[in-house]
Amino acid sequence: MKRIVIIGAGSIIFSTTVLNDILGTEALRDTSICLVDLDIDKARHVEAYVKRIIDAGGFPTKIRSTTDRREALKDADFVITTIKIGGVNAQRVDYEVPTRYGIDVCVGECVGPGGVFRALRTIPIMVDIVHDIQELCPHAVLLNYVNPMAMVCMAIGFTSDIQFTGLCHGVQTTLDLISRYVNVGKEDIDFFAAGINHMAWFLKLEKDGKDLYPTLLANLEKPEYYINEKIRGEVARQFGYFMTESSGHLSDYLPWFRKNRKALDLYCDQPGLAGETGFSFAFAKLMDAKFGSVDYLKQESGKLQSRSVDYCSHILEALVTGRYFRFQGNVMNKGFISNLPEDCCVEVPVFVDGNGLHPVKVGRLPGPLAAMNQSNVTLQQLGVEAALSGDPELVIAAISMDPLTSSVLTLKEIRDMTTEMLDAQAKYLPKFGGRRPRSVPTISIPSGTKGVDVPLDPALAVANRFGKLFEST
């Protein structure tokens, strides 16, 4: 009997969906599942609901709940992580403080100030988890759902040698949209995608060998299509490729769409994940209030539902049965994308079978796509280094490299904002031990101040010489 451990299993929506998928997979029913959560009541609530499905189906599956992570992990075969440190209270700081400084985001959970601080809170806990896996079940495969995906996966890769991948839903959901945009069934589209999490690119879109990009790009020129995809559509129109995540996500990753009112009014005027200001935080508050006051599982039938589009159960099925399955996974680069750093996290096609995970070598991305990815990889690398070291100056550096933040704020403003966020979230950041960034005051230059007499740059000397000549004529 295979052993599956879900860490952070108190999440009602995520855990019940994944567990339904597992029970809906015949090859996975003869398993032992352990739900781990610091809030044992939440875990037991999910457990009780899943037991209804198990009993109704007469399945041999065993399920239990615990707060003891190490006990649960001993000899596990598969580990699924889905934790969120700080909850809505921390997310409020992630959103509201940058907003006061003039940074407007739609999601802001995986990049920018909010993404960096979510990484600072999360990475030390994830490192503890992977160290436990390495000690207690070193051959287990880890499926990570924890955001910020790229930074968390980089930290896992830096601090362990366990077999893991990070999973997202961008490709599956975007293919549903593309299917409508090109009027081709989703199951008939042959695609190849690669890049980084929340900014991977459909490098190939075909049906029966015919390129679907001409149809997609032509339709994006039409108002009724473009209005749905103002940000992804504009990037595709300018650079030739469609992105695998929502327009709202992409707008946070680039400097062109949210930096001022003109850009916001032009590109970010559609609701929800099409670009709406503060959508993710508003949604998080709504879900927290909704599921914190009403037991929605009581209203569920307890009947087994059809499997969702989520990759998890398909990956586990392939590992157990040996049958191949292809998915889009986040892994350490190691040359899979040759024009991105080897020590970053990339999202590429991955094949899985009974022998484990097999990422696909992509080669070079088109130059503009790699450049857009790299602008965020730099932030991610610094953010991971900050989280692992507890160095507040590296937090400043990471946020200073964020494309959107740097298009809006000065370095002094970034330092002030980051210091405020560090102070506000100190209880979630024990790695920093209360350390704060250096104070770097603004230098005031009195009127009439002359610069120190130093040798001039040759080009400047020539310019000065000709300037004086012009003055004398």
Per-residue pLDDT tens digits for 74-108:
999 999 999 999 999 999 999 999 999 999 999 99
User: Apex CA 83: angle with CA 82 and CA 86, to 5°?
Assistant: 155
Cβ within 8 Å of residue 451, ≥6 positions away:
none
Instruction: Look at residue 454 in the predicted model and tell me its pLDDT.
Output: 85
Average pLDDT, rounded, for the chain: 95
Cβ within 8 Å of residue 128, ≥6 positions away:
none
Residue 473: pLDDT band with limits 50, 70, 90: low
Instruction: Look at residue 461 in the predicted model and tell me its pLDDT.
Output: 73
Using one digit for the tens of pLDDT, what is the confidence trace for 202-243? 999 999 999 999 999 999 999 999 999 999 999 999 999 999
The 8-class DSSP code of residue 455 comes to P
Only one residue has tokens 């960096």, namely 116
Between 170 and 161, residue with greater pLDDT: 161
Asked whether residue 471 carries a pLDDT value surpassing 60, the answer given is no
DSSP-derived 3-state class of residue 245: coil
Helices (H), 12-111: 12-23, 40-57, 69-73, 87-100
Give the 3-state DSSP-derived string for 94-163, with helices as H, strands as E and coil as C: HHHHHHHCCCCCCCCCCCHHHHHHHHHHHHHHHHHHHHHHHHHCCCCEEEECCCCHHHHHHHHHHHCCCE
Question: Is the alpha carbon torsion for 10, 12, 16, 17 positive or negative?
Answer: negative
Question: Is the alpha carbon torsion for 418, 435, 88, 67 positive or negative?
Answer: positive
Which residues are catalytic, by number? Answer: 169, 253
> CA 465 to CA 468: how far, in whole Å?
5
Beta bridge partners, 326, equal 351
> CA 45 to CA 411: how far, in whole Å?
47
The 8-class DSSP code of residue 256 comes to S
Cβ within 8 Å of residue 48, ≥6 positions away:
297
> CA 64 to CA 43: how far, in whole Å?
9
The 3-state DSSP composition of the chain as helix, strand, coil percent (nearest 5) reads 50, 15, 35
Q: Please, are residues 167 and 329 in contact by the beta-carbon 8 Å criterion? A: yes
Asked whether residue 116 carries a pLDDT value surpassing 80, the answer given is yes
DSSP-derived 3-state class of residue 71: helix
Query: How many residues are given for the chain?
Result: 473
Q: How many CB atoms lie within 10 A of CB 283?
A: 14
Asked whether residue 339 carries a pLDDT value surpassing 60, the answer given is yes
Q: Please, are residues 388 and 123 in contact by the beta-carbon 8 Å criterion? A: yes
Using one digit for the tens of pLDDT, what is the confidence trace for 258-267? 999 999 999 9
Using one digit for the tens of pLDDT, what is the confidence trace for 403-462? 999 999 999 999 999 999 999 999 999 999 999 999 999 999 999 999 998 886 777 677
Q: Return left, alpha or beta for 242; rule: phi > 0 is left, psi -120 to 50 is alpha, else beta.
A: beta
Using one digit for the tens of pLDDT, what is the confidence trace for 293-331? 667 676 677 789 999 989 999 999 999 999 999 999 999
User: Apex CA 289: angle with CA 84 and CA 86, to 5°?
Assistant: 25
Task: Return the structure tokens found at 186.
Answer: 């989703």
Residue 64: pLDDT band with limits 50, 70, 90: very high
Cβ within 8 Å of residue 90, ≥6 positions away:
117, 118, 121, 425, 428
Instruction: Look at residue 290 in the predicted model and tell me its pLDDT.
Output: 78
Task: Return the structure tokens found at 275.
Answer: 């670009």
Asked whether residue 183 carries a pLDDT value surpassing 80, the answer given is yes
Write down the pTM of the prediction.
0.95
Residue 398: which of 413, 421, 416, 418 has the closest Cα? 418
Task: Return the structure tokens found at 193.
Answer: 């995608």
> CA 220 to CA 230: how far, in whole Å?
9
> CA 130 to CA 449: how far, in whole Å?
57
Question: Is the alpha carbon torsion for 165, 171, 173, 175 positive or negative?
Answer: negative
Q: How far is CA 233 from CA 221, 243, 244, 403, in A?
A: 9, 9, 12, 19
DSSP-derived 3-state class of residue 31: strand
Question: Is the alpha carbon torsion for 423, 426, 427, 433 positive or negative?
Answer: negative
Instruction: Look at residue 328 in the predicted model and tell me its pLDDT.
Output: 97
Instruction: Look at residue 293 in the predicted model and tell me its pLDDT.
Output: 67
Mean pLDDT of 260-288: 95
Least confident of 30-44, 118-132, 445-459: 445-459
Instruction: Look at residue 469 in the predicted model and tell me its pLDDT.
Output: 54
Q: What is the chain's Cα-based Rg?
A: 25
Instruction: Look at residue 268 in the predicted model and tell me its pLDDT.
Output: 98
Instruction: Look at residue 470 in the predicted model and tell me its pLDDT.
Output: 55
